[in-house]
Chains A and B, each alone.
Chain A
Amino acid sequence: MRAMVYRGPYKVRVEEKDIPPIEHPNDAIVKVNLAAICGSDLHLYHGMMPDTRVGMTFGHEFMGVVEQVGPSVQNLTVGDRVMVPFNIFCGTCWYCARGLYSNCHNVNPNASAVGGIYGYSHTCGGYDGGQSEYVRVPFADVGPSLVPEWMEDEDAVLLTDACATGYFGAQLGDIAEGDVVVVFGAGPVGLFAAKSAWLMGAGRVIVIDHLEYRLEKARTFAQAETYNFTEYDDIVVHMKKITDFLGADVAIDAVGAEADGNLTQHVTAAKLKLQGGSPVALNWAIDSVRKGGNISVMGAYGPLFSAVKFGDAMNKGLTLRMNQCPVKRQWPRLFEHVRNGYLKPSDIVTHRIPLEHIAEGYHIFSAKLDECIKPLVVPSAS
């Protein structure tokens, strides 16, 4: 089969690999219809996540058709059209039994601090991902769901991470009616978080970024008020000014490890790898939110320490909530929202990249060329 393969920082290519075998009785093999490149894949691509091995296939957002099932699989059959959450989870450990599917304790021997994620380094379990023609899906009776007949493939693939994560991020903000919500980052997760904040009754939704075309999307897709932080000497002071010096009630970090806005933070994290991530957006969130406010962290950071302003967070009495999104837990409600027309996930797709052109796809997304917001990967176009 053809598969994307990591060759070292900033380098990927397509190689011929063996179709993955069934390795556990509850495995399935899924033929990938559509995959996506996630903003967090860029952290792997840039060599920021520890134990990212040459030869690994990335891709934790994918959907497709069941090609083969293991002997204990009861809930799927060959030919089923399925969407697969980015979390790999067993369904019965202490965490899964409490709905924390992203924290499953039975799928990642490499680390106890994070669950299993497809194609996301050995720190997340060492599983190959879905930017390929076929992928191994462990716990096939637990993770994947049938794609509803009325749902399009492009909507389904975005529900496997970006849309669900944005929706989850808004929930962790514990938004109350009329709250002022500021979202840092107008990438896919930030756009979905902003859109979701309205569903939870926000009174004002503000999105901050430095890419004008993404801010335009935040205005049209998420009906948000937007600010380009490069136009202000100090974006935190501006947030205070526009909230009558109270600050936002809720702030959502939808940027993560490669945040811009402070050159020292960015270079020490993203280029020199001296901290787990550049916490610029998180620090701005801490400083922009009002005292007693809530911070929701959806941006991905590496396991090394980062220079986060915990003193301010403590002194302000903030509540910080964060997690990898337990995707499947979001689906029943998100399916309703998509069906009712409140959310149209595929509206943010800007590029459809044939698998054979994966290197160009990563560069376009990484360098923010061509007004790229969300690139999909199409194996069958190869």
Chain B
Amino acid sequence: MTYTYTPAKPPLTESTDQLRARIPGWGVDLDPKDRPSGTKLQYQPDMTGAHWDFPDRQPEKWPRERSIEHKFLTPVFGTACPPRRLSGAIRRYSYKKYSEGRAAHWLLLMAADRVDAWENHVVSFASLHPDNPITETGVLSEFSHHGLSSRLGKKRADLVHQPLDPIIVAGPWVVAAWVGLKALRKVRGKR
């Protein structure tokens, strides 16, 4: 019997009583009134513990970048990683020029992220704590946490694209080293 092409709904294999017996707590939130997010946009005055109408403003210690879709700088904001260098300039430009509705806004921010990573890699080599792609990628856990047996013989859809990850991570380093080497040889050749 095919129910779907008739008014009847296909029957369940288990009755309510069977489900209640098998599943601890089955149906305890059956009544939508028991579901905390059941009513959308219900005004809930004084539910949060706040004791202000509008919060005190956090001091702005540097010109804080903000979306042009906001009327003003929000009273509270994060202070991690202020914008710096070229990546910071790209980020400030993106926030100043484009709304969140524009693809250019997000694409510029993504570009700034890549620039930021390279700026910091380069700076780290002049520091006492240089970036180490081996330890920072945690790739050695492949040997300590069953890298091979987690994949071999498994029907995992991600295995087909996982080989791209080392290329994404190591590729730019290899290209940078190659370009550096070429540049060095060129300089030596001129001498």
Could you tell me which residues of chain A, from 120 to 144, have a CB within 8 Å of some CB in chain B? 122-123, 125-128, 138-139, 141-142
With A11-B136, A15-B129: A54-B116 Cβ-Cβ less than 8 Å:
yes
Residues of A within 8 Å of B79, CB to CB, are 23, 126
- Chain B interface (Cβ within 8 Å of chain A)? 2-5, 9-10, 12-14, 16, 19, 22-30, 32, 34-45, 47-56, 58-59, 64-67, 69-70, 73-81, 87, 91, 95, 100, 103, 106-107, 109-110, 112-114, 116-121, 129, 131-133, 135-142, 144-147, 150, 154-158, 160-162, 164-165, 168-169
The complex places the Cα of A332 from the Cα of B9 at a distance, in Å, of 35
Smallest CB-CB A-B distances: 4 pairs: A342-B25, A91-B50, A126-B78, A8-B117
CB of A152 closer than 8 Å to a CB of B = no
- Name which of A60-68, A104-112, A184-192, A309-317 contacts chain B: A104-112
The complex places the Cα of A326 from the Cα of B59 at a distance, in Å, of 27
The complex places the Cα of A128 from the Cα of B2 at a distance, in Å, of 55
Selected contact of B74 from candidates A109, A364, A371, CB within 8 Å: A109
Residues of B within 8 Å of A231, CB to CB, are 155
Residue from A23, A105, A243 whose CB has the most chain B CB atoms within 10 Å: A23
B159: shortest Cβ distance to chain A, in Å?
Answer: 10
Could you tell me which residues of chain A, from 196 to 213, have a CB within 8 Å of some CB in chain B? 196, 198-201, 203-204, 210-212
With A244-B2, A367-B147: A54-B106 Cβ-Cβ less than 8 Å:
no
The complex places the Cα of A105 from the Cα of B116 at a distance, in Å, of 28
A-B contact pairs, 27 of them (CB 8 A): A13-B132, A51-B112, A55-B120, A75-B49, A91-B48, A92-B54, A97-B44, A106-B54, A106-B76, A139-B55, A141-B51, A177-B30, A180-B12, A198-B25, A203-B12, A212-B154, A260-B158, A261-B157, A266-B161, A329-B36, A332-B36, A337-B25, A359-B137, A361-B138, A362-B138, A364-B138, A370-B145
The 0/1 profile, CB within 8 Å of B marked 1, for residues 2-33 of chain A is 00000111111101000000011110000000
The complex places the Cα of A359 from the Cα of B9 at a distance, in Å, of 51
Residues of B within 8 Å of A142, CB to CB, are 48-50
A238: shortest Cβ distance to chain B, in Å?
Answer: 15
Selected contact of B109 from candidates A24, A51, A360, CB within 8 Å: A51
The complex places the Cα of A365 from the Cα of B69 at a distance, in Å, of 36
B14–A304 touching, CB < 8 Å: no
The 0/1 profile, CB within 8 Å of B marked 1, for residues 67-102 of chain A is 000001011000000000000111110001111110
Query: Number of contacting residues on A, CB 8 A?
Result: 117
B23–A111 touching, CB < 8 Å: no
Residue from A270, A341, A343 whose CB has the most chain B CB atoms within 10 Å: A270
Majority secondary structure of chain A interface residues (helix, strand, loop or mixed): loop
B50–A141 touching, CB < 8 Å: yes
B52: shortest Cβ distance to chain A, in Å?
Answer: 6
The complex places the Cα of A368 from the Cα of B149 at a distance, in Å, of 11
The complex places the Cα of A129 from the Cα of B185 at a distance, in Å, of 45
Majority secondary structure of chain B interface residues (helix, strand, loop or mixed): loop
B145–A369 touching, CB < 8 Å: yes
Residue from B40, B52, B75, B141 whose CB has the most chain A CB atoms within 10 Å: B141
Selected contact of B28 from candidates A24, A113, A305, A342, CB within 8 Å: A342
B37–A172 touching, CB < 8 Å: yes
The complex places the Cα of A199 from the Cα of B23 at a distance, in Å, of 8
Residues of A within 8 Å of B5, CB to CB, are 245
A244–B3 touching, CB < 8 Å: yes
| B22 closest partner in A (C-beta) | A223
The complex places the Cα of A204 from the Cα of B16 at a distance, in Å, of 11
B155–A210 touching, CB < 8 Å: yes
The complex places the Cα of A330 from the Cα of B38 at a distance, in Å, of 11
With A26-B55, A47-B113: A201-B37 Cβ-Cβ less than 8 Å:
no
B146–A370 touching, CB < 8 Å: yes
Selected contact of A368 from candidates B27, B100, B150, CB within 8 Å: B150
A378: shortest Cβ distance to chain B, in Å?
Answer: 16
| B68 closest partner in A (C-beta) | A112
CB of A226 closer than 8 Å to a CB of B = no
B109–A178 touching, CB < 8 Å: no
Selected contact of B168 from candidates A10, A303, A337, CB within 8 Å: A10
The complex places the Cα of A7 from the Cα of B173 at a distance, in Å, of 14
The complex places the Cα of A267 from the Cα of B29 at a distance, in Å, of 40
B116: shortest Cβ distance to chain A, in Å?
Answer: 5
Residues of B within 8 Å of A263, CB to CB, are 160-161
A369–B150 touching, CB < 8 Å: yes
The complex places the Cα of A271 from the Cα of B168 at a distance, in Å, of 8
CB of A340 closer than 8 Å to a CB of B = yes
B116–A50 touching, CB < 8 Å: no
With A23-B79, A266-B161: A177-B141 Cβ-Cβ less than 8 Å:
no
Residues of A within 8 Å of B59, CB to CB, are 23
B117–A54 touching, CB < 8 Å: yes
CB of A246 closer than 8 Å to a CB of B = yes
| B30 closest partner in A (C-beta) | A201
B80–A212 touching, CB < 8 Å: no
Residues of A within 8 Å of B52, CB to CB, are 92
B35–A55 touching, CB < 8 Å: no
A246–B3 touching, CB < 8 Å: yes
